[in-house]
Amino acid sequence: MLSWTWAAVQTEPTVPKVYVTHALRKETFVSTVIAVVGAGACDARLAATAERVGAMLGTAGFTVACGGLGGVMEAVCRGAREHGGSTIGILPGADRTAANPYVDIVLPTGMGEARNLLVVRAGHAVLAIGGGFGTLSEVAFARKLDIPVVGLHTWRLPDDGIIHETTAESAVARVVECAGGSLGR
């Protein structure tokens, strides 16, 4: 059984850290959070890619934060959770039951699309997979806040500052590096 609380004292005041306490061992560790953004509806190929990303992040012990709904968000949460990772869903609405079934921590905001800023702020780095205008807004927030963004089959704009990758494996390796972690941790 896991219990979760937001850190009261942080080394980086703009980046929330998730403290996880394992009830059986009474051990606490700080998990690096990767924000994954993408469309609420996607085709099977993009969903499989997002699920693979989630599986790699989960296996490596990272926490995935996302918008908590369907499409890319559900697929990345499924992959992470099925491979031992933890997931946070920051919902646009106030109804916590709207979260996809793979979200461990549901945060209903009632803020609509303004919650996109919270999703970005939750991560040490952002991985954009596919996506529409909501994803574009999250990428823009991240770039404005100087949070690293790795893109996989997503928006390409002139001088966008996005680190574009072509495979799930290279995207995960790069976003983890940008977040200051490593896959071998």
Residue 4 lies in a domain: no
Residue 113, pLDDT > 50, answer yes
Residue 18 lies in a domain: no
Query: Residue 132: pLDDT band by 50, 70, 90 thresholds?
Result: very high
CA triple 129-113-120, angle to 5 deg? 50
pLDDT in tens, 114-128: 999 999 999 999 999
Residue 25 lies in a domain: no
Query: Residue 13: pLDDT band by 50, 70, 90 thresholds?
Result: very low
Rounded CA separation 146/163 (Å): 13
Residue 27 lies in a domain: no
Residue 22 lies in a domain: no
pLDDT in tens, 35-74: 999 999 999 999 999 999 999 999 999 999 999 999 999 9
Residue 16, pLDDT > 50, answer no
Residue 3 lies in a domain: no
Token digits for 68?
Answer: 């908590």
Residue 102 lies in a domain: yes
Give the three-state DSSP class for 64: strand
Q: What is the mean pLDDT of the chain?
A: 87
Q: Phi and psi for 97 in degrees, rounded to 5? A: -75, -5
Residue 7 lies in a domain: no
Per DSSP, 94 falls in state S
pLDDT on residue 157: 87
Range of the domain at 115: 32-178
Q: With beta carbons less than 8 A apart as the criterion, state whether 86 and 166 touch.
A: no
* Number of domain units in the chain: 1
Rounded CA separation 98/108 (Å): 9
Query: Residue 111: pLDDT band by 50, 70, 90 thresholds?
Result: very high
The pTM for the full model equals 0.83
User: For 157-183, what is the mean pLDDT?
Assistant: 92
Q: What is the CATH number of the domain that holds 112?
A: 3.40.50.450
Rounded CA separation 70/62 (Å): 20
